[in-house]
Amino acid sequence: MSCLIIDSKKCVGCGICAKSCSSNALEIKNSKAEVNDNCVLCGVCLDACPFNALSIEKEENSTFDCSEYSDIWVFAEQHKGEVLPVSLELIGKGRELSKEKGCNLSAVLIGSDIRSKAEKLIAYGADKVYICNDSDLEINSDERYTDIFSRMISQYKPEILLLGATGFGRSLAPRIAARAKTGLTADCTFLEIDNETGLLHQTRPAFGGNLMATIICPGHRPQMATVRPGIMPIQNPDYSKEGEIISIEYEDNIDKKIKLIEDILAPEVKTIANAEIIVAVGRGIGSQKNIALAQKLASLLGGNIGVSRPLVDIGWSSQNNQIGQTGSSVSPKLLISCGISGAIQHLAGISGAKNIIAINTDPDAPIFNAAHYKVVGDCVEILKSLISKIEETGSFKKII
């Protein structure tokens, strides 16, 4: 590990370094500077010290052999005994990446009574499933799962490890990365393999969403990323597909610091992130009162309303309904997009939608490049006529 070194012969305890440190990582004790765990090795104190008493000792990484690492792994996270959709989404993406790299795709399934789920993961695209099955593992545990992953990484050496950016995934991934002494890109929205280097390009919004940053991890393995749910499509399962199931022994020998007192599940909230039908409106809707038309159509179809960001910015809708890079990623079966231009930040949130019907007056609107069905026309008039047709016929299917 790299670390900050304080030369006690040169340090006079003046405290200039402590004042320069924005992480509160330096304290003066017994007239000498001391560094604590807050240090992020930014190096500001080195420049501040007039006595050259500080230096950073960098770890030499030249011995790390990346070539020993192969295969792509996906953590198959479960909730209430069911594999989460985001894990199936990642298996679909992992399949695509593994084809490009010419390697195997494996899923890692931890829990109790999980064998039948391993077969499901093979059907969804995994070549291998590592299962660690024990009644102690029924409830997601950061400490236990980190320990299992650390041992598995040392033994099997995966090149890439993907996890869902769920509450648990966001807590587990950095612990695994810290143990494996590797990097982690959180909340990715796009993943691809660099054709020349074979490295994983991990893309995520940065600087408050003002730009997209593509991050690589060239010197350590595995290359780790968490991915936001609902961004990548789930591939159709093939139950005739064969794969290997590998059992991992569970060793309960860790010094646990967390004691589970009670497992309380948060009530399920219906959000646009998991809505099956969405009627989304943008600035082309014209006025706040017209949003009621989209709301009406959404309720006739049993769906939710979604909006583009400008409608939130001008106070016409709540941020909970915003779709896109700085809103929710959605993956409905049907998205009816009304008067939305299709800016890149909006498209970032709808790539998981199975069917998109876009209505726009501009035949060249970029939304049409993402849409499956294109309707050039006034969305207000089309919404009105759809509503009256559904009310007349009692069915949306009869209209389309």
Ligand X SMILES: Cc1cc2nc3c(=O)[nH]c(=O)nc-3n(C[C@H](O)[C@H](O)[C@H](O)COP(=O)(O)OP(=O)(O)OC[C@H]3O[C@@H](n4cnc5c(N)ncnc54)[C@H](O)[C@@H]3O)c2cc1C
Q: Binding site for FAD, residues? A: 283, 308-309, 322-326, 339-346, 360
Distance CA 328, CA 191 (A): 18
Judged by the rule CB under 6 A, the positions of this chain that interact with ligand X are: 209-210, 282-284, 286, 308-310, 322-327, 339-341, 343, 345-346, 349, 359-362, 365, 378-380
In the complex, minimum distance from the CB of residue 207 to ligand X, in angstroms, rounded to a whole number: 8
Q: Which is nearer to ligand X, 72 or 323 (CB)?
A: 323
Q: Which is nearer to ligand X, 70 or 326 (CB)?
A: 326
Q: Which is nearer to ligand X, 2 or 210 (CB)?
A: 210
In the complex, minimum distance from the CB of residue 379 to ligand X, in angstroms, rounded to a whole number: 4
Q: Which is nearer to ligand X, 110 or 365 (CB)?
A: 365
In the complex, minimum distance from the CB of residue 357 to ligand X, in angstroms, rounded to a whole number: 12
Q: Which is nearer to ligand X, 153 or 285 (CB)?
A: 285
Q: Which is nearer to ligand X, 164 or 327 (CB)?
A: 327
In the complex, minimum distance from the CB of residue 361 to ligand X, in angstroms, rounded to a whole number: 4
In the complex, minimum distance from the CB of residue 359 to ligand X, in angstroms, rounded to a whole number: 6
Distance CA 382, CA 266 (A): 39
The residues near 32 (Cβ < 8 Å, ≥ 6 apart) are 6, 8, 11, 13
Q: Which is nearer to ligand X, 169 or 327 (CB)?
A: 327
The residues near 107 (Cβ < 8 Å, ≥ 6 apart) are 73, 74, 75, 76, 87, 91, 118, 121, 126, 128, 129, 130
The residues near 205 (Cβ < 8 Å, ≥ 6 apart) are 187, 189, 211, 212, 213, 325, 326, 348
User: What are the CA-CA distances from residue 27 to residues 9, 49, 55, 127, 219 (Å)?
Assistant: 17, 14, 16, 53, 33
Q: Which is nearer to ligand X, 92 or 339 (CB)?
A: 339
In the complex, minimum distance from the CB of residue 369 to ligand X, in angstroms, rounded to a whole number: 12
In the complex, minimum distance from the CB of residue 364 to ligand X, in angstroms, rounded to a whole number: 9
319 alpha carbon, distance to own chain's centre: 20
Distance CA 85, CA 354 (A): 14
Q: HSE, CB side, 13 Å, CA atoms: give it for residue 143.
A: 11
Structure tokens at 372: 């499956």
In the complex, minimum distance from the CB of residue 326 to ligand X, in angstroms, rounded to a whole number: 4
> Residues 327, 160, 238, CA angle at the centre, nearest 5°?
80
Query: Position of tokens 């009816």?
Result: 336
Phi, psi of 246 (to 5 degrees): -115, 125
Q: Are strands 190-193 and 200-206 parallel, antiparallel or unpaired?
A: antiparallel
Q: Which is nearer to ligand X, 303 or 324 (CB)?
A: 324
In the complex, minimum distance from the CB of residue 338 to ligand X, in angstroms, rounded to a whole number: 6
DSSP state of 112: S
Q: Output the DSSP codes for 113-125.
A: S-HHHHHHHHHTT
Q: Output the DSSP codes for 338-387.
A: ES----HHHHTTTTT-SEEEEEES-TT-THHHH-SEEEES-HHHHHHHHH
